[in-house]
Homo-oligomer: A and B are copies of this chain.
């Protein structure tokens, strides 16, 4: 097990609890989500069940003011390692952590993931708790100047042998629990520690420390870095230490966030390869926002066209697919959106997607599989319906070989719309914010 790229040979697919459950998901809800995934989504490659932030918070969902309660009541073991809150995850009450829940998920043929924050609990440092299997204490490795700007739980960990030991034993505990996927937060971009500041961004070192710990733990744990936007000049660093890295700040169901993803996918397209995936964040579709204080549950604000645009772009680009919807109330339309086999097949780690052109009002992507079958995505980024077209010359410049396509060739549309006929290129009328994806074979 020498290469972390083998842990995720194709872009990971699954479900994440955050978009619907915020910090307050329960064991029962996770099991029901796993049940649903196993029966409805696993055949389409969705396999990761991921519990997002604050699973250790005993007071999650008890306060209407703060999402992350400062100086809150968090479940922690004697070595300063957070444990699942037994109030929400009863099977952990015996000290076995997520072992039983992970086993449940695994039995379904699925994989189990958790969210963590870079660092060590502040409380462990202030209490000088001993580190597991060490004579050092949390206070020895915690850096009191290395905090997260938006979450009060952790201090960053110093890059010392003791700091590495902490990460090694922490990851080993997760591996022992049966964790297959770690989404680490406050590590990819930081509000507080930007390059212009006096303090360097300490996240770089901790990314490497996490990676080393994973390579030692004996379990192929996928490492996903948040939040975004990731920093383009550090692309090599991300690719050598992680499997996924967020290229956007939190992504929600708003066209003003979706449209800029075309620019982000443009700049990151050369950085997609097996085991290395720029990450567009969760798919905010279906029912969302069930447990955000002050906000009612809602059906996604994305129109049907926008949802197809998102799925098409993510798949042409080669991004991971993490569903944000509440799986327990997933409607047939959303299920259908998420399980379009032909669209999903583009996102198999073997197709190479490239941007053919882009302006403020349109974008075109091409994808070529190992069988040389050509797929073209025509996106209308404007606010009214429009004819979108791409010609042989565009394709040639994007190094997409279409010269041999005879005029008159018919291209199928993968979302069930009318086919298009090749005539020196392909064009179609596309609704505002919408897409047409054409395939030659």
Could you list which residues of chain A lie within 8 angstroms of chain B, going by C-beta atoms?
2-5, 70-71, 122-123, 125-128, 139, 142-145, 147-150, 152, 191-194, 196-199, 215, 232-233, 235-236, 240, 266-267, 269-271, 273-275, 355, 392-393, 396-399, 403
Question: Given that A232-B232, A233-B232, A396-B2 are contacting pairs, would A71 and B144 also be in contact in the complex, using a CB cutoff of 8 Å?
Answer: yes
- Judging by beta carbons under 8 Å apart, are B152 and A145 in contact? yes
**Residues of chain B within 8 A of A127, CB atoms compared:** 126
- Judging by beta carbons under 8 Å apart, are B196 and A399 in contact? no
- Judging by beta carbons under 8 Å apart, are B192 and A199 in contact? yes
- Judging by beta carbons under 8 Å apart, are A70 and B3 in contact? no
Name A4's closest neighbour in chain B (CB-CB): B397
* Number of identical protomers: 4
**Residues of chain B within 8 A of A5, CB atoms compared:** 397, 399
**Residues of chain B within 8 A of A392, CB atoms compared:** 2
- Judging by beta carbons under 8 Å apart, are A240 and B397 in contact? yes
Of the candidates A148, A149, A198, A270, the one having the most CB atoms from chain B within 10 angstroms of its own CB is A270
Question: How far is B266's CA from A399's CA once the two chains are assembled, in angstroms?
Answer: 23
Question: How far is B266's CA from A232's CA once the two chains are assembled, in angstroms?
Answer: 11
- Contact for A147 among B70, B147, B236, B269, CB less than 8 A: B147
- Judging by beta carbons under 8 Å apart, are A128 and B71 in contact? yes
Name A233's closest neighbour in chain B (CB-CB): B267
Chain A interface mostly helix, strand, loop or mixed? mixed
Question: How far is B193's CA from A192's CA once the two chains are assembled, in angstroms?
Answer: 7
**Residues of chain B within 8 A of A355, CB atoms compared:** 236
Question: How far is B397's CA from A215's CA once the two chains are assembled, in angstroms?
Answer: 11
Question: How far is B198's CA from A193's CA once the two chains are assembled, in angstroms?
Answer: 10
Question: Given that A235-B267, A266-B236 are contacting pairs, would A71 and B192 also be in contact in the complex, using a CB cutoff of 8 Å?
Answer: no
- Contact for A2 among B139, B142, B197, B393, CB less than 8 A: B393
Question: How far is B399's CA from A15's CA once the two chains are assembled, in angstroms?
Answer: 28
- Judging by beta carbons under 8 Å apart, are A3 and B397 in contact? yes
- Judging by beta carbons under 8 Å apart, are A150 and B145 in contact? yes
Question: How far is B3's CA from A4's CA once the two chains are assembled, in angstroms?
Answer: 37
- Judging by beta carbons under 8 Å apart, are B273 and A399 in contact? yes
**A–B complex contacts, Cβ < 8 Å, 25 sampled:** A2-B396, A2-B403, A3-B397, A5-B399, A70-B139, A71-B125, A71-B126, A123-B126, A126-B127, A144-B152, A145-B147, A145-B149, A145-B150, A145-B192, A191-B198, A232-B232, A232-B233, A232-B267, A235-B267, A235-B270, A236-B266, A236-B269, A236-B355, A270-B270, A270-B271
Beyond the given pairs A191-B197, A192-B197, A215-B393, 18 more chain A to chain B contacts, judged by CB atoms under 8 angstroms and listed by A's residue number, are A2-B393, A70-B125, A71-B126, A145-B150, A145-B192, A149-B198, A191-B199, A192-B192, A192-B198, A194-B196, A194-B197, A232-B232, A232-B267, A233-B267, A236-B266, A240-B397, A270-B270, A270-B271
A45 to chain B, nearest CB (A): 23
- Judging by beta carbons under 8 Å apart, are A199 and B125 in contact? no
Question: How far is B338's CA from A257's CA once the two chains are assembled, in angstroms?
Answer: 49
A414 to chain B, nearest CB (A): 24
Name A2's closest neighbour in chain B (CB-CB): B396
**Residues of chain B within 8 A of A144, CB atoms compared:** 70-71, 122, 147, 152
Of the candidates A191, A240, A271, the one having the most CB atoms from chain B within 10 angstroms of its own CB is A240
**Residues of chain B within 8 A of A128, CB atoms compared:** 71
Name A399's closest neighbour in chain B (CB-CB): B5
Question: How far is B145's CA from A198's CA once the two chains are assembled, in angstroms?
Answer: 17
Name A355's closest neighbour in chain B (CB-CB): B236
**Residues of chain B within 8 A of A240, CB atoms compared:** 397-398
**Residues of chain B within 8 A of A2, CB atoms compared:** 392-393, 396-397, 403
**Residues of chain B within 8 A of A152, CB atoms compared:** 144-145
A163 to chain B, nearest CB (A): 14
Name A275's closest neighbour in chain B (CB-CB): B399
Name A276's closest neighbour in chain B (CB-CB): B399
Question: How far is B270's CA from A393's CA once the two chains are assembled, in angstroms?
Answer: 24
